[in-house]
Structure 1
Amino acid sequence: MSIPVFLSHPRPINNIQSDFIEKLSNKLSGSGFEPLTLGVNRYDMKAPLEGIITLMNNTYGLITVALKRAHIKKGMDSPQTKHPKIISDKWLTSPYCQIETAMGYQSGLPVLILKEKGVLEEGVLEKGVTGGYISEIDLSESCDKYLNSNEFKGLLAQWKIAVMKQYGKDLNS
């Protein structure tokens, strides 16, 4: 029996991102999980946040993949302040990566965050916000290289232990 887990990611904008999500999903399935994503393999007629809550209440862990979505060629954070921060050549991810990660964290689910290289570190994607390690993935290289790396294998093994504890805890409740 596969353990349902929430796989949060924006709609891929290119074939490399699509390939990564597909291979990650296959790797999760091969590790005994059933990766579920609202709007991809799970659907709900309710408002998106209600659908997320329903799905999250029926999963035992969350993996967020913060993929590049919108590019900031040159911009400024807090332009009306004395010391605005210049932002150049950065990417934003979907706001749902922020929302779903925060909801999973608040629900006490084990959370694993994978951030595509170049995505702006803000909100739950800032180091230390959720207390967990944020792995940066470089999709300019092979997807397989990252998914077979010692870093990913180690993170997945630790996350799997936490998910198994959550799954056991819920079964015993």
Structure 2
Amino acid sequence: MIPIFLSRPNPYTNEQSYFLEQIIIILNEAGLQNITLEAADYNPYESLSCMNEMIKKCYGMLIIAFGQYYINSGISKKDAIQDVHFFDSIEKKLTNTWVTSPFCHIEGALGFHHKLPILIIEQEHIKIEGILKNGSHAIKGPQFSLKSNTVIKQYCNSYSLNEAVSLWLKEIKIRYNFIHNKIH
């Protein structure tokens, strides 16, 4: 089994737990072993060091951006002063928006730093910022819904998710084989 780092907030709903279980099945079937920072591993003073050591031993990273904070109606950058010297310095309304855990961004940045192949999958209506922004740093899978276990199962069997996982898995195997001097 090839170790990959699984970055995700701790699930707090039955649907999030079921989604995570289904994704882990996909990983296992692909010959991947997920490594993640568990609650028992968390120490406010040593978490970054622990995470970094775990991530260094992995050949890829999967970021599952579950919503953790819900904004029914709000404002981003309230009273912002537009300034061309600052990126995106405008006030924006937020409605029906989820924000993921900051750990997804922190762990993702460490994965990027270690040049790991990264796959990102996001819950619907997630605020796209930080590591979640589109770019060449990661493969983006389709957004997912947590409406029901049936919808989750359909997503996990979807062509578009399987295509993203296949692209990511190809990059992981290239890295793994290069490091272990295996030529296939």
TM-based fold match above 0.5: yes
Superimposed CA distance per residue, residues 112-164 of structure 1 (whole angstroms, 9 cap, x where no aligned partner): 00000011111111222735335211222521101110001111111111000
- In 1, distance between residues paired with 2:136 and 2:122? 14
Larger Cα-atom Rg: 2
Unaligned runs of 5+ in 2: 82-89
- Give the equivalent residue in structure 1 for 2:112: 105
Q: How many aligned residue pairs are there?
A: 171
| Whole-Å separation in 2 of the counterparts to 1:23 and 1:133 | 18
Q: Distance in 2 between matches of 1:130 and 1:86?
A: 28
Does the aligned pair in 2 maintain the 1:127–1:134 contact within 8 Å? no
Partner of 2:8: 9
Corresponding position of 2:126:
119
Letter in 1 for 2:56: N
Q: Please list, as runs of the form range in 1=range in 2, the aligned pairs for 1:146-165 lying within 5 A after superposition.
A: 146-165=155-174
Match of residue 62 from structure 1: 61
Alpha-carbon distance between aligned partners in 1 of 2:118 and 2:137, rounded to the nearest angstrom: 8
In structure 2, what is the equivalent of residue 144 of structure 1? Answer: 153
Shift of 1:107: 0.9
Are the structure 2 counterparts of residues 98 and 129 from structure 1 closer, same or farther at C-alpha, using a change threshold of 3 Å?
Answer: farther
Question: Does the 8 Å contact 2:139/2:164 carry over to 1?
Answer: no
State whether residues 3 and 32 of structure 2, in contact with CA within 8 Å, keep that contact through their aligned partners in structure 1.
yes
Asked if the contact 1:64–1:101 (Cα under 8 Å) also holds between the matched residues in 2, the reply is yes
User: In structure 2, what is the Cα distance between the partners aligned to 1:153 and 1:108?
Assistant: 23
State which drifts further: 141-150 or 109-118: 141-150
In 2, the alpha carbon distance for the partners of 1:166 and 1:60 equals: 7
Question: How far is the alpha carbon of 1:169 from its aligned partner?
Answer: 1.8
Q: Percentage identity across aligned positions?
A: 27
Give me the whole-angstrom Cα distance separating, in 2, the residues matched to 1:99 and 1:9: 11
Counterparts in 2 of 1:146 and 1:122: CA distance versus 1, 3 Å: same
In 2, the alpha carbon distance for the partners of 1:110 and 1:19 equals: 25
Query: RMSD of the TM alignment (CA)?
Result: 2.0
The answer to whether the 8 Å contact 1:4/1:60 transfers is yes
Task: Tell me the distance in 1 between the aligned counterparts of 2:111 and 2:160.
Answer: 23
Contact 2:63/2:104 (8 A) holds in 1: yes
- When the two structures are superposed, what TM-score results if normalisation uses the length of structure 1? 0.91
Contact 2:7 2:64 in 1 (8 A): yes
Quote the offset at 1:43 in angstroms. Answer: 3.6
Cα deviation, residue 172, structure 1 = 3.1
Distance 1:81 1:148 in 2: 43
